[in-house]
Chains A and B, each alone.
Chain A
Amino acid sequence: MDAVARAGKNGDDVEIPTVKVTMLGTTGSGKSTFMLGMYATLSAGLRGYFVYAQDQDDHIDLTDAWDRLLDDGLLPPPTTEERSRRYEFVFTQGFDTLLNIDWLDYRGGALTDRKTARDTAELQQRLGQSDSVYLVLDGNAVGRWVRSIVEGEGDNPSLRLERIQRELKVQDMTAQLNRCVGERRKAGLPAPSVVALITKMDTLPVTSGLDRIDAINLAVEHLPELLPVVTSGLTTLVSPVQLGEFGTEHHDTVDTQRVNPTHLHKPFVFTLMQYLWSGIEDNETELENLAAADVAAATELERLRSGVVRSLRNRGRINSLQSEKQRRRSAAESRRSTVNLMNSRVQQLRDELMNLPIYRNGKLAP
C-alpha cells in the first residue's frame, strides 16, 4: 500500500493509504457492469461510508451509464478501448477520507492477447502491487459447471471441467494471481486478498438446473475443483453478484423492471476489511515488539543500576534507555489508537459480510 501524505485537519499530515484492486476475467464476464453497479451502490452512501470517483468525469460517466441502465435498460457497451481502464476512487466515512482506491478494470482480451504486450507488461507490474485481486467468473459458466457436478460430465463435452476452466481462463488468472503473490512476498508485502466474483448469479438456476441457493452452495463447496488456487492459503471471498435478472442470452438492452442489483458492494467491503485486518495485525506485531524491547530495556536498566561501579558511561546509558522507553511509550500509544480506530471500523462493517463464504488457510471458514 502506498501512503500519500495529505494536509489533514489542523494542518497536520495524515497518511491516506492507497489500496490497489485488480479485476481479472474474460471479456464479457461482467466486470464493467459489476463496477458500474458497485459504484452506484457505494456512492449513494452505506452506513455512513461513501465512495466517490476522484475525477468528476469518471463520476459523470459511471452515473450516466447507470442512469441509462435504470431508465432505458441500456447495458454498457463492451470495453472497446485498446487499454484497460483505471479508476481512482476515494473511500470516506462521511467527509473524512479513509482510503484511496486504485481500481483497474482489466481489458478482457489482454489476459492472453499477444498483440497487446504493452498492456500485459503493465498488468504484470501492476499485479505485483495489487492488494486485492478479483477473479471474475461468469455465472453462466459456473452454472454449467454446477450442472456437471450434479449430472456428471457424461458425454456432454460442454460440461467438462477443463473446458469450463478454459472458457473462464482459470489457468491464466491463477498464473497471474500467483505472480502477484510472489512479487508481493519479494517486496515484503502481505499476500493479496482474493475475491472469487461469480457474476450474473441470476443465470445460475437456468444453467445449473438447481435453485439459486443450492447452486451457490454447491459452487462454493466445490470451488477448489474449479479454482484450485482457493486452497493455496490466500483469504478468498466467494461472492455471487448480479446486476439484474437478464437471462443467459446477451442483449444490448434489458427490461428495466429486471434491473435488480444484488450484493454488489460486498466484495469491496471485504477488500476493505482485509485491509483493516492486516493493518491491525501489523500494528499488533509492532506493539509486541515494543513490549519486548521494554522488557529487554528493563533488564538492562536493572543491571546497570545495581552495578557496583556506577560509571559515567553507565549513567549515560541509563539516560538513553529512559528516553528510548519514553519514545516507545508514545509510539505504542499511537499504534494502540490506530488499532482501536481500525477495530471500530471493522465492527461497523462486519455485518455486511455475515454469512458470506470465505476460504481461509485453504479451508472454507465455518
Chain B
Amino acid sequence: MKIVMLGHSNAGKTTYLTAAYYAMQHDPRIFQISAGRRDHRRLMRSGRVLAAGRGYPPPSDARSVHEFVASRDGIDPVEISWIDHRGGAAVAKTADGQARRLQEDLSAADAVLLFGDAERLVGHTHSQREIDTLVPMLLRAFGDRGGSSTIPFAVLITKVDALGDALDELRPALHRPFTALMDGVRRAEWAVARSFEVACGPSARNVVEPLLWIMQAVIDDRIDTHYTGLDASLATMRTKVAEDKVSARFRAHVNGVPTGQAIVRGELEKAIGALAALRPLHTVARELAAALAHLGAVEPDGAPEGGQHQAVPS
C-alpha cells in the first residue's frame, strides 16, 4: 500500500515518519514494522536522536520512498511504500517535477496523511489559506475515485507539544481549518477520516496511532474481502447442491466440465480457507481497536472527541 504525506514545508512530515518507525520498533505488540537494512539503520539513528530531544531529522531535499513491511503471525504481511516529498512540492508549479510527482503519488495513494503544523495553525492569520491551498491536489486525486478499497485519510496536527497547556483552549482553532475538507471526505464513500494531535520527540504523543489506524483500515478491508468471498462460495454451493441430479452429473461428464460435487468441494475449500484467514484478522482488529480506544469516537467532522469546535460559518 502507498502512504502519501501532504503538507507544507516544515510541517513535520519527515519527523513524523521517523518517529513512527522508531516507536513501532519499541512497541511491536500488534505489528512488526521492518525496513531494508540501510533505511532501518538511518531511521533508528535519527529516531534515537529525536526521542532523546537532541534534534530533528535533516530537511529532505528530494522525494524519498521508504519500503516497509508490516508483519504479524497468521496474516499476510502488509507491504508499505511510504512516500516523503521534499518541502515545497505541494505549492510548486508543475515545471518543478516534484509537484507533478506528488500529484501522481496522491492519485495512486492508498492512505493519505495531511499535515498541519500546530504552531502555524494557531499563530498565523493565514493558516486557513495555507491549508486551503492544499485542497485542490486532494480533490484532483480523489474526485470520483472508484475502486473497492477504503482510503484512510488522516489529518495530523503536529507539534502539539509546543502549545503546552494551551492545547485544550486552542483545540478549536487547530481543527477549524480542516472542517470543510473533513466534511467532504466524510461524505465520500471511498474514505474514512479522522484527525490526530501529534507530538514527536521527548514528549511524544499519538505517534503510533495514525499508523495503527491506517492498519485498521487495511485489516477491515481484508475482513470485508474474505466475507464477500465467503458469501460467494456459499451461494455457489447452495445452487450446485440444489441442482445436483444424476442427469446433471451425467451431462457434466459428457461435456467434460467439473461436476456440481467437484465445484462444491472446491468452494468448500475456499470457504474453509477464508474462515481460517478471518480468525487472526479478527484478533488483530480487536487489538487495534483496543490500542486506539483511548482516542475516543470520531466526531462527524473527524476531529477527536472533546474537540468541541464548531463548523465555520460561511
Residues in chain A within 8 A of chain B (CB atoms): 6-11, 14, 40, 43-48, 50, 52-54, 56-57, 59-60, 63, 66-67, 70-71, 90, 92-97
B247 at the interface (CB under 8 A from A): no
B184 partner residues in chain A, CB cutoff 8 A: 45, 48, 50, 92-95
* Ranked 4 nearest A-B pairs via Cβ: A94-B184, A45-B180, A52-B136, A94-B187
24 A–B contacts, CB within 8 A, in A order: A8-B146, A9-B146, A11-B146, A44-B180, A46-B314, A47-B314, A48-B183, A48-B187, A50-B184, A53-B136, A54-B140, A56-B93, A56-B99, A60-B92, A63-B91, A67-B126, A90-B143, A92-B184, A93-B187, A95-B143, A95-B187, A95-B190, A96-B143, A96-B187
A14 partner residues in chain B, CB cutoff 8 A: 144
Query: Given the interface contacts A48-B184, A50-B184, does A95 sit within 8 Å of B146 by beta carbon?
Result: no
A70 partner residues in chain B, CB cutoff 8 A: 126, 129
B139 touches A50 (CB 8 A): yes
Contact pick for A44, options B132, B145, B185, CB 8 Å: B132
B30 partner residues in chain A, CB cutoff 8 A: none
- Bound Cα distance A68, B142 (Å): 29
User: Closest approach, in angstroms, between the C-beta of B80 and any C-beta of chain A?
Assistant: 24
A10 touches B146 (CB 8 A): yes
B189 at the interface (CB under 8 A from A): yes
Q: Residues of B within 8 Å of A, CB-based: how many?
A: 33
B181 at the interface (CB under 8 A from A): yes
- Bound Cα distance A63, B137 (Å): 13
B277 partner residues in chain A, CB cutoff 8 A: none
B188 touches A95 (CB 8 A): yes
Residues in chain B within 8 A of chain A (CB atoms): 91-95, 99, 103, 126, 128-129, 132-133, 135-137, 139-140, 142-146, 180-181, 183-185, 187-191, 314
Besides the known contacts A44-B129, A48-B187, 10 further A-B residue pairs in the complex with CB atoms under 8 A apart: A9-B144, A9-B145, A43-B136, A45-B132, A56-B93, A57-B93, A90-B143, A94-B184, A94-B187, A96-B144
For residue A71, which residue of chain B has the nearest CB? Answer: B126
For residue A41, which residue of chain B has the nearest CB? Answer: B314
Main secondary structure of the interface of A (DSSP, over half): mixed
B142 partner residues in chain A, CB cutoff 8 A: 95
A92 partner residues in chain B, CB cutoff 8 A: 139, 143, 184
A44 partner residues in chain B, CB cutoff 8 A: 128-129, 132, 135, 180
- Bound Cα distance A93, B139 (Å): 10
B187 touches A7 (CB 8 A): no
- Bound Cα distance A199, B10 (Å): 39
A57 touches B94 (CB 8 A): yes
Query: Given the interface contacts A56-B99, A56-B103, A67-B129, does A50 sit within 8 Å of B135 by beta carbon?
Result: yes
Contact pick for B136, options A48, A59, A67, CB 8 Å: A59
B94 partner residues in chain A, CB cutoff 8 A: 56-57
User: Closest approach, in angstroms, between the C-beta of B92 and any C-beta of chain A?
Assistant: 7
- Bound Cα distance A14, B145 (Å): 12
Main secondary structure of the interface of B (DSSP, over half): helix
B93 touches A94 (CB 8 A): no
A8 touches B144 (CB 8 A): yes
Q: Which of A50, A57, A63, A90 has the most C-beta atoms of chain B within 10 angstroms of its own C-beta?
A: A50
- Bound Cα distance A9, B126 (Å): 35
A60 touches B93 (CB 8 A): yes
- Bound Cα distance A280, B95 (Å): 42
- Bound Cα distance A40, B93 (Å): 18
A45 touches B135 (CB 8 A): yes
For residue A59, which residue of chain B has the nearest CB? Answer: B136
A94 touches B135 (CB 8 A): no
A95 touches B139 (CB 8 A): yes
User: Closest approach, in angstroms, between the C-beta of B141 and any C-beta of chain A?
Assistant: 9
- Bound Cα distance A44, B129 (Å): 8
A97 touches B143 (CB 8 A): yes
For residue B100, which residue of chain A has the nearest CB? Answer: A56
Query: Given the interface contacts A47-B314, A56-B93, A60-B91, does A94 sit within 8 Å of B183 by beta carbon?
Result: yes
User: Closest approach, in angstroms, between the C-beta of B55 and any C-beta of chain A?
Assistant: 32
B128 touches A97 (CB 8 A): no
User: Closest approach, in angstroms, between the C-beta of B122 and any C-beta of chain A?
Assistant: 18
B143 partner residues in chain A, CB cutoff 8 A: 90, 92, 95-97
A47 partner residues in chain B, CB cutoff 8 A: 314
- Bound Cα distance A325, B267 (Å): 42
For residue B180, which residue of chain A has the nearest CB? Answer: A45
B190 partner residues in chain A, CB cutoff 8 A: 9, 95
B139 touches A52 (CB 8 A): yes
For residue A67, which residue of chain B has the nearest CB? Answer: B129
Contact pick for A95, options B99, B132, B133, B144, CB 8 Å: B144
B145 partner residues in chain A, CB cutoff 8 A: 9, 95
B191 partner residues in chain A, CB cutoff 8 A: 95
User: Closest approach, in angstroms, between the C-beta of A17 and any C-beta of chain B?
Assistant: 14
User: Closest approach, in angstroms, between the C-beta of A337 and any C-beta of chain B?
Assistant: 17
For residue B137, which residue of chain A has the nearest CB? Answer: A56
A71 partner residues in chain B, CB cutoff 8 A: 126
- Bound Cα distance A331, B99 (Å): 44
A43 partner residues in chain B, CB cutoff 8 A: 132-133, 135-136
Query: Given the interface contacts A9-B144, A11-B146, does A52 sit within 8 Å of B135 by beta carbon?
Result: yes
B128 partner residues in chain A, CB cutoff 8 A: 44
A11 partner residues in chain B, CB cutoff 8 A: 146
- Bound Cα distance A56, B91 (Å): 9
Query: Given the interface contacts A44-B180, A70-B126, A94-B188, does A56 sit within 8 Å of B136 by beta carbon?
Result: yes
- Bound Cα distance A11, B147 (Å): 8
For residue B133, which residue of chain A has the nearest CB? Answer: A63
